[in-house]
Each structure stands twice: as C-alpha cells, then as structure tokens.
Structure 1
Amino acid sequence: MRIFDVEPDGPSGFVGVSDGGARQVVDGTQLLAQALVATAKTLPDKVVRSAHAVFSRAVDATAPVRFTVDVTHCGRSMASTVVAVEQAGRRCATVSVLADAPTEDLVRRHIPRPEVPGPTAALPANMPMIGRDLRIVGVADVNDPDEVGPPELHAWLHYDPVPERDDLGKALLAHFTGHLSVSTTLRAHPGIGTAQAHHILSTAVMTVSVRFHEPVEWAGWLLYTHESIQIGAGMSCVRGLVHTESGRLLASFTQEAMIRRPRADEAALPVPARL
C-alpha cells in the first residue's frame, strides 16, 4: 500500500471549477488522472491499461486530498490496484486500475477516426486550461440549450507541451473524458442544456471508464468523439474514442452522469438572463 498526499497549492494540486455556488470543486477526471499517476509510481515495471472510477462525493479544490494505492495483484504480466481518494477522512472516489507489461502484437486492428472537419475548421471553445487549445466541430457553444442536434460532439484538442512520460500522457488523455459528456447528451433535447446546470438541472459525473490502446504517443491534435447512447431514470451514458489526427486510436472511454431536477429540499438557483 502506498499513500500520496496532494496539497491544493502544490505543483500537482487541483484546479477548481464552480459547482454553481461558492464552492470550488475538483473535476472527477482530474482525480482519475492523478490516481493513474499514483498507480504508475507504485508499479514502475508496468504500464496502465485501463481504469474505472466511481465518484461518490465532491472534492473541495482548496483542501488536501489523500490517494491510497492498494495493490490487489501483481504478477509477471498483469497487475491491479484500487485507489481510494479521501478528503478530511471521507471517501470521495474509488478508482480500479489494470496495469500490465505490454507484449508484441499478435494481431492489430482499431476503429477508424470519424470523418469530420479538421481542427482548422472547428470552433474555439471556452474551457481555459494552460497549454490546451480546444475546438468543437460545428458547435459554437456546447452549453447553449438552443444548440440542438444529434447527441454527439467532436472535440479537437492540442496540448503544448505533450508529456514525454507514459503515465502523464495517459493522465492527460483521461482528464478530458468527462468534460463534454453531459453536453453531448442534452444536445438532442431542445430547450435544455448545461448552461442550466445547478440552476434548474442537477448534474454530476458519476463514473468514468477509460482504456488505453498501446502505444499511447502523439504529436499535434487529438480528436475526442462523444456519442450519447442513453438517457433516462435520471442517468445518462456516453461512449467515446480518442484518435490522433493521423487516425491512430489511443484510447476509448465511457461515462455515466446524473441529470435530474433538483431535489425538493434543494433550492433551484435562478437561470442566468443570458444562457
């Protein structure tokens, strides 16, 4: 078992996003990314192949977080861990990670990159992050309830610099897997969008599963493809792919999110005048 304590003002601290009130909360996929790095440091002779995260409680971006890595198996080929993410003594997330020692190909095949316009034809998106350029294909504002279309979104991302370490590259890929999933789902439903989240909608990412398809190396742009396959009973499900601009498949992912009306005991916030 290995413990990693992360301070909010440290070099690997947290970027907070507003939950609609005064709190600054941590993106669940940032916790997932840091759990992957913690596993890689615990198993230096293996590489991370997949992870499944369940987010049970919001994490305050201004307070320390503890990552406890429990190695549940470590063999010659395969290894697995369970990473507990805790804050103030309470479990906030659990991440199950599979790692292995890659071998040569027996056969190789992957689903091709979708035929969509390239990054130069995509529209800049306002999701600030130092070193990241984000552009959405054919959608000016993913949060706008009036941006109606098929329940899919294609996002081009460019990072500068691209990490050289395998674990950091995978952490960076995992970090964006939850950002557009709720918007993807709501895009098919007129008059409802993520601009209304924490106002007349209660939304939260509940699970993210990500699989890395070796080798995970890239330069230039990445294409994240999101497809919402279901919404109902207060939950949605989105599946996605991550390709390089040249068409190589680096990763695939699925995400479950809560999309509901606020509970009766939760006072809905007023919707901003301009959505």
Structure 2
Amino acid sequence: MDQQAVDDLITLLDLEQIEVNIFRGSSPDEDRQRVFGGQVAGQALVAATRTVPDKSVHSLHSYFLHAGDPTAPILYEVERIRQAKSFETRRVIAIQHGRPIFGLSASFQTAEEGYDHQMPMPTDIPDPETLPDFQTRMKPWKDRLGPWYDRPRPIDTRYCDWRNPDDTTPGPMLSNVWFRANGTLPADPVLHACIMTYASDMTVLDTSLSPHGGSGVGDVFMASLDHAMWFHRPFRADEWMLYAQDTPSASGGRGLGRGLIYTSEGQLVASVVQEGVIRPARWSRR
C-alpha cells in the first residue's frame, strides 16, 4: 500500500476552477518527457463532471493530439453540448501553450432500470494477493528502468500472465491484469470513475506488443492515439478489479487494445478500447 501516492493522485485530480467552464490542472513533479495520457484523460473527466452534478458518466471518447508538457499547467475548457432530462454531453479540450493537446467527449445519464446481461469474467485467474506487485516483479530490471522504477505508484498492478522483458518469443494476444488504487479512496463515485480512467491507460496497449515478442520495456516507442470507455455498473477503484485485455489487430505502426474490467466478484463494470502508436524507437516520428 502507498497511501501517500494515492492521496497525491486525488490532489492531482482536484482541479482548480478559474472561470465558468474553465479548469486548471497540474502534473506531478517527476522526471517525465511527456504527461501521462491517463492523467490528462482523468483530469478532463473531472472537468466534465464538475458541470454535471446530478448524473453519472456512462461513456467517454477521447483523442490524444499532442504530447503534454509536464512542467506547465493544463487548462480544461468544457463545452455543454447537450442538456436533457436523461442524458447530458460535455466536450472538453485540454490546452497547453496555446494549442489543444487532448480532446474528450463524455456522456452522462440519470440512473434508471433496464435489461441486464454481461460477458462472464475469465476463469482460472490467480488471486491478486498471490501475485507480486510491480516493484517486486521488476526488481531484476531496476537499473534498466531507471527513475521509472522508483516512482510513486498510486495504482497497484499485478499481472496474471506476466512476460519476462527479455523474452522475445511471440506471446498471446491477450493479457489479464489485476489493479486497484494503492490505498483507500473517499466514497465519491466521480473520483472512482476518474481514477479508473487514469488506470485504464496504463496497460491496455502493452498487449499489442506481445504477439511480436515485446513487453513494453525496452527499445520501443508507444503513445496513445485515442481512448474510449463505457461504464456499466457501480464499482470501487480501491478494490481489486480484473482488466481482461486483448489485441485484435496491429498494423501500420498502430496497435489496438481492448479491455473488459470486472470486480473480483465477477461484475463487468467497464469496457475500454484504445489505439496507439507502437513501433521500434528508431522508427519513431510522431
């Protein structure tokens, strides 16, 4: 557990309102070349939800337009696209240095009853408490990872079918990962949705490298291009959730990752789709 890292993430997501429909966010004081995409997505969702006090987010669709500067604040401008009894839509543009770096559209719904079904949770999945956390798992590669290894980790991720970073044999087109906030969260559904959004960007694209003998660690360039989520049922982001991921395709320097997120009791709570750039670092030109 790392409650301080979780508290710092909560603070990171607590945007400053500087005008009607305009919010300001910051980035953690870490040695990063660009802002983590999950951070921008989570903060943009926070900005959107601040303008919809009586409904819950059920979907979001977003594009990563430019790499974010971790040394500069990010402005989030919210446009109220639709306001109706059952649904409301917001569009958010994240701006740095006078240009948009990220765009998000989010839809919100008043709670209601309806038909109910879901895909079942994968079986034969190990208990997360029996699996090593990231730093334990990656300790043999600590020197290779450099400062990234020692960063605070507000999200605890545990791989069910982990691949050795030195293993270059082609792997499966699927991966199962347990994750949760690495500490206790307040009972605020908005915060839990925003933290899930933050965490959902961490591992889903890695699966696209597995069929090509890659692990996401090493001489490879990866960057999110777009990210979509659908929220199906209530959940707590500080309880274990299974991220069942697969990759239906990679081509043209891009990989597609999909994920279904389940509670430990087997409730499907969210679905994720992301496309990103995946190419050997020497080919990078984004």
Map 1:71-150 to 2 at 5 A. Answer: 71-104=80-113, 106-115=114-123, 116-126=125-135, 129-139=152-162, 141=164, 143-146=165-168, 148-150=170-172
Rounded to whole Å, the distance in 1 between the matches of 2:129 and 2:53 is 39
Q: Which moved more, 1:29-38 or 1:114-123?
A: 114-123
Q: Does 1:258 align with 2:277?
A: yes
Residue 42 (structure 1) aligned to one of 51, 72, 78: 51
Rounded to whole Å, the distance in 2 between the matches of 1:176 and 1:147 is 27
Task: Encode CA deviations 1:86-112: one digit per residue, 9 max, x unaligned.
Answer: 0011110100111111112x2211111
Contact 1:15 1:26 in 2 (8 A): no
Contact 2:227 2:274 in 1 (8 A): yes
Aligned to 1:172, the other structure's residue is in SS state helix
Q: What is the identity, as a one-letter code, of the residue corresponding to 2:107?
A: L
Task: Encode CA deviations 1:180-208: one digit per residue, 9 max, x unaligned.
Answer: 13321111113x44223xx4x33211111
Q: What is the identity, as a one-letter code, of the residue corresponding to 2:258?
A: R
Identity of aligned residues (%): 27
Contact 2:160 2:175 in 1 (8 A): yes
Q: What is the identity, as a one-letter code, of the residue corresponding to 1:228?
A: T
Q: What is the identity, as a one-letter code, of the residue corresponding to 1:175?
A: Y
Rounded to whole Å, the distance in 1 between the matches of 2:49 and 2:284 is 42
Rounded to whole Å, the distance in 2 between the matches of 1:265 and 1:27 is 18
Superposed CA RMSD: 2.3
Instruction: Name the residue aligned to 2:246.
Output: 227
Contact 2:196 2:237 in 1 (8 A): no
Shift in Å, 1:261: 4.4
Q: Does 1:3 align with 2:22?
A: yes
- The change in CA–CA distance for 1:97 and 1:112 in structure 2 (over 3 A counts) is same
Q: What is the identity, as a one-letter code, of the residue corresponding to 1:45?
A: D
Structure whose residues are more often helix by fraction: 2
Q: Which moved more, 1:81-90 or 1:147-156?
A: 147-156
Instruction: Name the residue aligned to 1:182.
Output: 205
Q: What is the identity, as a one-letter code, of the residue corresponding to 1:61?
A: P
Residue 189 (structure 2) aligned to one of 166, 186, 189: 166
Rounded to whole Å, the distance in 1 between the matches of 2:23 and 2:72 is 14
TM-score for both structures, normalised by structure 1: 0.83
